[in-house]
Amino acid sequence: MDSVNSKKQKNKLSVMAKREEKWGLLFVAAPAIGFLIFMLYPIIFAFLTSLTTWNGAKGFQGMMDRFCGFDNYVKLFADKKFWQTLLTTIIYLLGIPIGMILGLLCAMGMNRKIPGVRVLRTMYYVPVISSLVSVSILWAWVYNYDYGLLNTIIKTLTGLHGPNWLGDEALIKVSMIIFMVWKGLGTSIILYLAGLQNIPRSYYEAAMVDGASGWQKFKSITLPLLSPVTFYILVTTLIGGFQVFVEVQVMTPNGNGGIGYSAATIVFYLYQKAFESYQLGYASTIAVILAIIIFIITLINFIGQNKWVKTMD
């Protein structure tokens, strides 16, 4: 009797569980299907395309007719422009530690008892929410060789003509990094500030009793306890850093990537190959390599995480 009852209950439960399962799957169906159609399928397709010299003509058959194996990959490794744009992309990544250090300093300042913290925080955050196209246009104007704000200030202060911020192969990279740090600083400030506010006061009080100096407190309490935030910023900005495109297209004259292609990034190169010279096969090869680079870097981040990212407990 008892067993019959519990069996019935189990059956009823599993009917309910099945119903829940059906509805649950239905509710997540939209994003899941969207992922399959607009993400997974394109990734596989990108890999296939990278094995061809397709220019977009004659559909799928046209693509398979131009199958060339791994020729594109071989070609890419000998492609000077690829290495140049990859190097430029990596140089731009220097903005990440600069932004993190500045962001941490600002956040530590805002974590003190000073007036107007919320207003300050908002001011630093305005560039983040502004349209990338608009602020790139704005900075191209600020960097303008003859009439820009920066060179006007330099001339007023020193009487000398300022440098050609966007017209010099080396300097343009510095100019881009300054711009990117300015654009993204607000995010790291907010993240670090939230992290700092999350550290229990008692930790510092205990350190004070032990007579720890300010630097010691920073080194052995603040930095380790902020490491999850640092990790988060590092992962997201690295993924973003490999995708720099808009500022290059908007800030270089005629969107040409700068003198001698000096400001062009890997995504910029990929864009030009795909949508200006219609070498879809070759462009896809760049895309696949880009995906692999980002995947490996994120993987390294997550593996290395155990070494330096501490948790609160």
For the bound state, the minimum distance from the C-beta of residue 82 to other proteins, rounded and expressed in Å, comes to 14
For every residue of 163-212, DSSP letters joined together read P-TTTSTTHHHHHHHHHHHHHHHHHHHHHHHHHHHHS-HHHHHHHHHTT-
Window 60-99: residues binding other proteins (CB under 8 A): none
The answer to the question of residue 123 lying near other proteins (CB under 8 A) is yes
Nearer to other proteins, 1 or 215 (CB): 215
Window 257-296: residues binding other proteins (CB under 8 A): 267, 270-271, 274-275, 280, 283-284, 287-288, 290-291, 294-295
Nearer to other proteins, 96 or 135 (CB): 135
**Coil, strand, or helix at residue 52?**
strand
Cα separations (Å) of 202 from 125, 193, 194, 211?
Answer: 30, 18, 17, 14
Show the CA angle centred on residue 138, arms to residues 135 and 141, nearest 5°: 150
Q: Which of 68, 91, 250, 259 binds other proteins (CB under 8 A)?
A: 250
Window 134-153: residues binding other proteins (CB under 8 A): 134-135, 137-142, 146-147, 149, 152-153
Which residues are CB-neighbours of 86 under 8 A, at least 6 positions away?
Answer: 266
For the bound state, the minimum distance from the C-beta of residue 10 to other proteins, rounded and expressed in Å, comes to 16
String of contacts with other proteins for each residue 1-40, x by CB under 8 A: ---------------xx--xxxxxx-xx-xxxxxx-xxx-
Instruction: Give the integer Cα–Cα distance in Å for 288 and 18.
Output: 40
Q: Give the tokens for residue 118.
A: 């919320």
For the bound state, the minimum distance from the C-beta of residue 78 to other proteins, rounded and expressed in Å, comes to 22
Nearer to other proteins, 3 or 158 (CB): 158
Window 41-60: residues binding other proteins (CB under 8 A): 41-43, 45-46, 49, 56, 59
Show the CA angle centred on residue 98, arms to residues 157 and 250, nearest 5°: 70
